[in-house]
Structure 1
Amino acid sequence: MKKFNIEDWEIDVEQETGNDDYIYGNYVDWDEFRTTEEENLLSYFEVDIPWGKEISCQEFFDFLSQEVFYNTSIINSYPFEDLEIIETGPVMSDLLFLFPSRKDLEYDMLVSDIFDYCEVPSGTAYEDDLPQELQFWYSMMEEEFLESEYEYYKNYPLGFANFNESILDIKSKMSSASDTLTKKSLLLSSFIISESLYKSTIVSKIPTENNISEFSKEILSKSLGEKLRGNVDTRNKLFKKIFNVKSPKQEWIALRNSLSHDIESSKLVGDCISYINLKDGKEYTENIYDLFEKQINFYEELKCIVETDNEK
């Protein structure tokens, strides 16, 4: 059965701005997309729901036999066995049923369950969690910079020694800072540096191809740049392919996304920062110095992976 492919749709994106009209990035209200495109999506997935119609036994059987119901237990969550019989006869084929209305609350979640199965996104996705083609800053950088992210980290890598020096310097400044906004900015800077180290490490392992055309080099550079600019899952998959091991845990990604999305929305009390995870909408609290330790552990594990790989 066909699953949702974002490339087949024109997705309306909104821009999120601050009080000073600074653009944080794009976002997509996928629930709104599901609602406005419901009929088109059902047609796209070739799912037929005869809302409010009179249907025969055969038509009811055809409805139940659709792949989305046949391969899942979705149908078990709804009282289809209680359909109203509006016409009877001497044989089964004479029966007519009244299919529920789309507005029937008992069946309100049916379409949502179908869309979940077909992998249609839900909720609200912000800049860092959007596909690259829907991101505001990715589009801006594509327009303004010819150099791909791959080329940037190939030419300006962040080494382990420089990272260690930088992260300790930021931690020291954090200890002496009194302003909460300054502390949040320093914390976000540390996350960006950790991300730069990760990307630099990935790029350092990619061999330079000299025996291919300039056009092929350009295609390769663009493809790798897109993967590096992608979300953390995309980068982790690339890391696994290159080093043949899972990447070290990056336990600050949700906070990093929250800070880059709206740095003022988080609350800093003492050494603890509370923030809303953009994916699940829940509030979490972290000790800022624990976060530095996690980044240092990340650096040490990453360095160990590289050293082990170099010994092969």
Structure 2
Amino acid sequence: MDDNDFFKDMKDILQPDIGTETGNDDYVYGNYIEWPTLEELNNDQIKELIDYFGLGETVYGMFKKCNVPDYESLEKEEFNDFKKILNPEIEVDNDYMFDTYIEWPSLDELTNDQFVELIDYLDLKEEIYDKLEKCGVPQGTDYENGNPDFPESERYFREEKDLDQEYSYQDYVSTMDSFKDDYNDLKDRIDNFVFNSNTRKMKDEITLYYLNLEDLFKRKVSQILPNPDEFDLPESLQKVIRNTYTDQLRNINNQKFKSFIQSFIGNYRKIGHHELRNALAHNRSKVTFENQNINYPEKGKLKSVKYVEIINEMKDYLNWVDKLGSDN
């Protein structure tokens, strides 16, 4: 499934889990998209899929073949079942005690819950699910590793067509003059983080913390790496070295970068709770805040961590970044 409008629509409706596939020693293979099965969907999602693929009239036709909305012709037991599902308005004529008027909802007035309950009751789910599968509803797990059709927007390793474009090694080196000011600014913002009811604002703030921490780390590493301009080498080889640095800096969370950078900075460390960073970038709706905790998906399960722990780890990481190279 490539990165097109259909993928974006399915992501919006199905809310898949998006995470990072790792192996031994935290080696990163790429991201994955875990789509829910049709059986795992809630009633709103099922109805939304039926509407999205234009199957509404088809389903209504299936209902009518099952005497919906011709409820009066049903046997008593079925009639009572439909009454329980559809909750019609019932009025008794006060002048004629035995005259009862039942006003059933029309098919287009059904709630999503009533709509799907009818599908279940009439044993139509298998047939309708088969139609949805034929329409291409994604299910199962898609992996970035070895998959050229994996959506670009969800990739862990983004394609970079030109190593000379922005965010290169040279860009990070050129911003070192403002490193201390940016460091102090980020430190103040993290120190003053307040857990509150504005969920969207908190997600934005924490996302920026992660991005700023990564940026400061890359800038500090760029300062520590041997400057190829100072090598007694042809310009063509200096460019190869600069491009190697750039390529490494774009993938700071994989094993390859860890092996590369340890000879320059010693012990390498990731920012704590990196799966939270990935969830905020790729699976934002699955990140929730509750009772001073931040909840986010990690390897298919929901992890809950006190926000204070996350903030403290960010502070510790920021302090570590600031001291990088001080012993070099």
The TM-score normalised by the length of structure 2 is 0.50
The alignment partner of 2:246 has SS state of helix
Tell me if 1:255 matches 2:267.
no
Tell me if 1:168 matches 2:188.
yes
Whole-Å separation in 1 of the counterparts to 2:146 and 2:313:
26
The alignment partner of 2:277 has SS state of helix
What does the per-residue CA deviation read over 1:131-152, in whole Å, with 9 as the maximum and x for residues that have no partner?
9997826656535962452122
Which amino acid counterpart does residue 173 of structure 2 have in structure 1? K
Q: Does the 8 Å contact 1:28/1:125 carry over to 2?
A: yes
How far apart are residue 274 of structure 1 and its match?
Answer: 0.5
User: How high is the sequence identity, in percent, across the aligned residues?
Assistant: 13
Within a 5 Å distance, the mapping from 1:105-124 to structure 2 comes to: 124=142
Question: Which of the pair has the greater relative contact order for Cα pairs under 8 Å at 6+ separation?
Answer: 2
Q: 2:261 is matched with which residue?
A: 239
Q: CA distance change for structure 1 residues 227 and 155 in 2, over 3 Å: closer, same or farther? A: same
The alignment partner of 1:159 has SS state of helix
1:216 to 222, 225, 237: 237
Q: Does the 8 Å contact 1:250/1:295 carry over to 2?
A: yes
What does the per-residue CA deviation read over 1:43-96, in whole Å, with 9 as the maximum and x for residues that have no partner?
xxxxxxxxxxxxxxxxxxxxxxxxxxxxxxxxxxxxxxxxxxxxxxxxxxxxxx
Q: CA distance change for structure 1 residues 146 and 303 in 2, over 3 Å: closer, same or farther? A: closer
The alignment partner of 1:166 has SS state of helix
Q: Does the 8 Å contact 1:180/1:268 carry over to 2?
A: yes
What does the per-residue CA deviation read over 1:187-210, in whole Å, with 9 as the maximum and x for residues that have no partner?
111011111121112111112223
How far apart are residue 304 of structure 1 and its match?
Answer: 3.6
Which amino acid counterpart does residue 275 of structure 1 have in structure 2? Y
Q: CA distance change for structure 1 residues 182 and 171 in 2, over 3 Å: closer, same or farther? A: farther
Q: CA distance change for structure 1 residues 250 and 198 in 2, over 3 Å: closer, same or farther? A: same
Within a 5 Å distance, the mapping from 1:134-213 to structure 2 comes to: 136=152, 141-142=160-161, 146-157=165-176, 159-172=179-192, 174-175=193-194, 178-210=197-229, 211-213=232-234
Whole-Å separation in 2 of the counterparts to 1:164 and 1:288:
21
Q: 1:288 is matched with which residue?
A: 307
Q: What is the RMSD of the two structures over their aligned residues, measured on CA atoms? A: 3.8
Please list every run of 5 or more consecutive structure 2 residues that lacks an aligned counterpart in the other structure: 20-29, 35-140
How far apart are residue 308 of structure 1 and its match?
Answer: 2.1
The TM-score normalised by the length of structure 1 is 0.53
Q: Does the 8 Å contact 1:258/1:276 carry over to 2?
A: yes
Whole-Å separation in 2 of the counterparts to 1:154 and 1:198:
12
Q: CA distance change for structure 1 residues 213 and 13 in 2, over 3 Å: closer, same or farther? A: farther
Q: 2:297 is matched with which residue?
A: 276
Q: Does the 8 Å contact 2:169/2:245 carry over to 1?
A: yes
Q: Does the 8 Å contact 1:133/1:139 carry over to 2?
A: no
Q: CA distance change for structure 1 residues 139 and 266 in 2, over 3 Å: closer, same or farther? A: closer
Q: CA distance change for structure 1 residues 226 and 144 in 2, over 3 Å: closer, same or farther? A: closer
Which amino acid counterpart does residue 318 of structure 2 have in structure 1? Y
Q: 2:26 is matched with which residue?
A: none
What does the per-residue CA deviation read over 1:96-118, in whole Å, with 9 as the maximum and x for residues that have no partner?
xxxxxxxxxxxxxxxxxxxxxxx
Q: CA distance change for structure 1 residues 297 and 27 in 2, over 3 Å: closer, same or farther? A: closer
Q: CA distance change for structure 1 residues 202 and 28 in 2, over 3 Å: closer, same or farther? A: same
The alignment partner of 2:284 has SS state of coil
Q: CA distance change for structure 1 residues 304 and 275 in 2, over 3 Å: closer, same or farther? A: same
Please list every run of 5 or more consecutive structure 1 residues that lacks an aligned counterpart in the other structure: 1-11, 31-122
How far apart are residue 231 of structure 1 and its match?
Answer: 4.7
Whole-Å separation in 1 of the counterparts to 2:222 and 2:317:
17
